[in-house]
Amino acid sequence: MTVAIFLGSLLIAMAIGIPIAYSLLISGIALMWHLDLFDAQILAQNVINGADSFPLLAVPFFMLAGEIMNVGGLSKRIVKLALAVVGHVPGGLGYVAIMAAVMLAAVSGSAVADAAALASLLLPMMVAAGHDRARSAGLIASAGIIAPVIPPSIGFVIFGVAANVSISKLFLAGIVPGMLLGIALAITWCWLVRREKVTPPPRASRSEVLRALRESVWALGLPVIILVGLRMGVFTPTEAAVVAAVYALFVAMVVYRELSFRQLADIFQAAARTSAVVMFLVAAAMVSAWLITVADLPSKIIGMLEPFMGNQTLLLVAIMLLVMVVGTAMDMTPTILILTPVLMPVVKAAGIDPVYFGVLFIINNAIGLITPPVGTVLNVVAGVGRISMSDVTRGVMPFMLAQFAVMFLLVAFPSIVMVPLRWLGG
């Protein structure tokens, strides 16, 4: 009955168009009434405590770094470097999109920002070269969702806070899976593009490649600074976010000189608006998380999953299928905030490493950004590329299936995640 009241009130509130953050508060209030615990002071205290978190300070600073990167010329130079390196091979513009997405992911951490940048810069070029518009848009959308997996990742920050798991370890554990997602896209694109007769751009000369590398070296320095700093213990993930924002601001204003003081107000406003949405979601979700613990919902979920508890692989498959279904109807951040407090006790009871589970969970939620009908990244690419949602959905399907295949490969072989983590984490 408790589970039905929580899920029922949440789904009904969302179905009638109430924003997800307020829906979470409504489901929390409904659960408090059911448990005879309603107290406005407790409600307010949990909301305040939900946003009062030092690790969550990383979210607005990574958001700010992403905004600066797109406006200040860092994204453009990364795409230019990828174009100079692999643009000349058959289907080269697709590989440029994948390579640029991986490099942007190591700078931004936001799937929406990366997908918007790639769609605006590369989609017109791919269509002009003769590539199928829907397939090109689908590739760009699926490449954009690598951002929440490769550090710095806003998704890992939110999951780490909600699950009380080391964000630094999550960052390091996401590197290899993120690369595998990119490789899967490249293999899929190679298979599909054989049917297209497209003349690739001319091969860039050595001097052009070196010039593109020289121009982008400042942008590429950001992920190096962050990863080395985390690996050596120089700063925490929250401090890394501040370093990323300050570094991106310095490069955009002093080195590339494409960002003026007049543009700063708009950038800060855009980052603040996006951060406010995320932080309010986190704050509202903390009410539900507290009530989930009080109502002992995890033990009920463990009872439901009891048949799978003896086999970690089967349990993970069941959980991943559940998250896949939820991801078709809900955005990444609320899915993390709602499911994490429910699933983590199950994961710990089964003896599954929380960092390993976190990587799988975030990959699944990231792919949810391109699963219709809600797929946020699909909507962004459709809007920026001026293409219908149905066409983007058709184009993204083969790439989405390839990324799901990578996720289930990681479920079957945990060492793909854990061995690099032990090496990188010392």
User: What is this structure's pTM?
Assistant: 0.82
SS3 for 301-324 is: HHHHCHHHCCCHHHHHHHHHHHHH
Same domain? For 130 and 18 the reply is no
Same domain? For 314 and 219 the reply is yes
Instruction: Read off the pLDDT of each residue in 240-253 and give the average, rounded to a whole number.
Output: 87
What secondary structure does DSSP assign to 129-186, as a single string? HT--HHHHHHHHHHHHTTTTTSSS-HHHHHHHHHHT--HHHHHHHTHHHHHHHHHHHH
Same domain? For 172 and 259 the reply is yes
Same domain? For 29 and 158 the reply is no
Buried b (16+ CB within 10 A) or exposed e, 127-144: bebebbbbbbbbbbbbbb
**334 vs 364 pLDDT, higher one:** 364
Same domain? For 418 and 332 the reply is yes
Same domain? For 15 and 137 the reply is no
11 close to 297: Cβ distance less than 8 angstroms: no
Amino acid at 228: V
Same domain? For 30 and 50 the reply is no
Same domain? For 259 and 291 the reply is yes
Q: Is the pLDDT of residue 216 over 90?
A: no
Instruction: Read off the pLDDT of each residue in 233-246 and give the average, rounded to a whole number.
Output: 82
| The most confident of 220-224, 234-238, 259-263, 285-289, by mean pLDDT | 259-263
Same domain? For 25 and 108 the reply is no
Residues 276-308 pLDDT 10s: 877 787 777 777 777 766 766 666 666 677 777
Same domain? For 198 and 325 the reply is yes
Give the pLDDT score at 422: 86
Give the pLDDT score at 406: 96
Same domain? For 212 and 294 the reply is yes
Instruction: Read off the pLDDT of each residue in 252-281 and give the average, rounded to a whole number.
Output: 84
Residues 151-206 pLDDT 10s: 888 889 889 988 889 888 999 899 999 999 999 999 999 898 887 777 777 787 88
Q: What angle do CA 118, 112, 253 make, to 5 degrees?
A: 70
Same domain? For 138 and 11 the reply is no
153 close to 109: Cβ distance less than 8 angstroms: yes
Give the pLDDT score at 404: 95
Give the pLDDT score at 379: 80
Instruction: Read off the pLDDT of each residue in 379-390 and give the average, rounded to a whole number.
Output: 83
Instruction: Read off the pLDDT of each residue in 307-333 and give the average, rounded to a whole number.
Output: 83
Count how many domains the chain has.
2
Residue 10's domain spans which residues?
A: 1-38
